Amino acid sequence: MGWQAVEGSFRDPSGFVYTRDGTLYRQVNSSFREPFEAFLASGLYDELATEGLLVPHRSVGLELSASPEAYAVLQPDRVGFISYPYEWSFGQLQDAAALTLEIQRRALARGFTLRDSSAYNVQFQGGRPLFIDTLSFAPLEEGKAWPAYKQFCQHFLLPLMLMSSRDIRFGQLLRSYIDGIPLDLGSALLPRRTWARLSTLLHIHLHAWALGRYSDTAVGSATKGRSMSRQGLLTLVKNLGDATRRLSWRASGTEWADYVDDNNYTAAASQNKRNLVIGYLRRASPRTVWDLGANTGEYSRAAREVAPQVISFDVDPAAVERNHRRVRAEGETGILPLLLDLTNPSPAQGWAGRERLSVEDRGPADALLALALIHHLAIGHNLPLEQIARYLSRIGRRLVIEFVPKSDSQVKRLLLSRPDIFPHYTKDGFEQAFARYFTVESVSPIEGSDRWLYAMSSRGNGG
């Protein structure tokens, strides 16, 4: 066969994405020839790609197609790391929503419309959202409503409203509902005061009611031949944009958001640790670094001095949000902040358990940073050191890890309210557990602290 389908690309019959010899291609099927040619001829593709809103592509020969239905084959620029909406912070989801609506606005101005508005059509590159589905565009049929309106509300507006007016953790509902949070569920979860807000009343509460009311009614008899003007569509898109933009969330007050300003390092210890980390990474010269427990990304930025791509994972939504805001504000490239609970990492899921990749499937990284993390996993979550070592050896080829002993004030804090049931949590126990899956390349004490920094390489036997 020689090609391999990208698992999440099968719902749209107009084409699909696949790889051949490690290169990414998108096939456009003959059935979509006319809309696609019209899209290219309209200038919309050029406008969006030039302005960095849509992934650029180049056309390649049909000999690279994956099936006989091919009319054209595109080679899109590759996105560094595929991430999913349930891994984004509030601001990232908001930015992705704004991009989708801006693209729909520009499409309408040129007589086109987005055929879908899935949050999975957006990826992040250099802190900015990028639309990646080149086949989402079709000529606007005058009088027709926007078919992706409900999808936009479920993928973007409702999750943002829940996160903003209820609890930031409601963003994790996107992990269970990969086609967006059901509107009736969201309507029930939103505070009563949201009924008094016109945009929420229309797009969520009444929308949820209408879905139930007309569930057994054919479109023709329900809409009675009504038509939608282009101005009506633009007004709707503008209101969705205003409603999305008005939502806010203050990224503070969570457990880890202020950690960088509230840890037990002296300035000298911090500098020493930073130098050691950069020194280790320079020797490894990785292309990709995953910073696990990155907080607001201080060491991700140190890693970025060495590696072209750093994924800055943290469990805390406020830390990820602050990290994202900094990346965006400073125009930093090569750093992607993402939400990740390492004790329950994003699984492979969706159709056949393969539509969305697990974190592990998207690795291994060339190098992992696990700084000030081990005590939270081993003591805070009762994870045996040996199991931590095994998992890390599966997701990274090299590892820079900090061992935080029981004498450290942060570990003492973890043991304040519980008995110490961790007799193996010692420097020797740590080295023994990790030696099974890693070769230790170097060990250094971190000056001004009781902590140790290790550089290791995976033995590749983590399974």
Q: Which residues of 336-350 are buried (b: 16+ CB within 10 A; e: fewer)?
A: bbbbbebeeebeebb
By CB under 8 A, tell whether 225 contacts other proteins.
no
CB atoms within 10 A of CB 83: 23
Minimum CB distance to other proteins smaller for 31 or for 50? 31
Of the pair 181, 292, the CB lying nearest other proteins is at: 181
Q: What token pair was written down for 38?
A: 């019209």
Closer residue to other proteins (CB): 218 or 421: 218
Smallest distance, Å, CB 282 to other proteins? 48
Contact 289, 270 (CB under 8 A): no
Give the binding-site size for other proteins (rule: CB under 8 A).
39
Q: Pick from 322, 462, 337: which is nearest to 399 by CA?
A: 462
Decide whether 157 or 388 has the Cβ nearer to other proteins.
157
Identify the residue among 24, 202, 348, 440 touching other proteins (CB under 8 A): 202
- For residue 364, cis peptide bond before it (omega within 30 degrees of 0): yes
Using rule CB under 8 A, residue 329 touches other proteins: no
Question: Is 445 an interacting residue with respect to other proteins (CB under 8 A)?
Answer: no
| Amino acid identity, position 242 | D
Rounded to whole angstroms, how far apart are CA atoms 222 and 238? 25
Say if strands 365-370 and 452-458 run parallel, antiparallel, or are unpaired: unpaired
Exposure of 405 in the CB half-sphere (CA atoms within 13 A): 13
Among 4, 13, 330, 424, binds other proteins (CB under 8 A): 13
Contact with other proteins (CB under 8 A) among 226, 352, 416, 463? 226
Query: Quick one: 32 or 422, whose CB is closer to other proteins?
Result: 32
In the set 37, 51, 59, 212, which binds other proteins (CB under 8 A)?
212
DSSP annotation of 366:
E
- Spell out the residues 6+ positions from residue 368 whose beta carbon is closer than 8 angstroms to its own: 289, 290, 291, 292, 392, 395, 396, 398, 399, 400, 401
Residue 228, C-beta contacts closer than 8 angstroms, at least 6 positions apart? 143, 144, 145, 146
Question: Which part of the chain contacts other proteins (CB under 8 A), choosing from 20-28, 122-130, 229-237, 440-448?
Answer: 229-237
Per-residue DSSP letters for 218-255?
A: -HHHHHTT--B-HHHHHHHHHHHHHHHHH------SST
- Pick from 8, 14, 190, 292 the residue near other proteins by CB under 8 A: 14
Q: Residue from 87, 95, 116, 402 that binds other proteins (CB under 8 A)?
A: 116
Per CB under 8 A, 217 contacts other proteins = yes
Task: Figure out which of the listed residues 5, 60, 82, 211 binds other proteins, where binding follows CB under 8 A.
Answer: 211
Q: Is 206 in the site for other proteins (CB under 8 A)?
A: yes
Find the binding residues for other proteins in span 138-197 (CB under 8 A). Answer: 138, 145-151
Shortest separation between residue 233's beta carbon and other proteins, angstroms: 7
Which residues in this chain contact other proteins in the complex, by CB under 8 A? Answer: 11-14, 115-116, 138, 145-151, 198, 202-203, 206-207, 209-215, 217-219, 222-223, 226, 228, 231-233, 235-236, 239
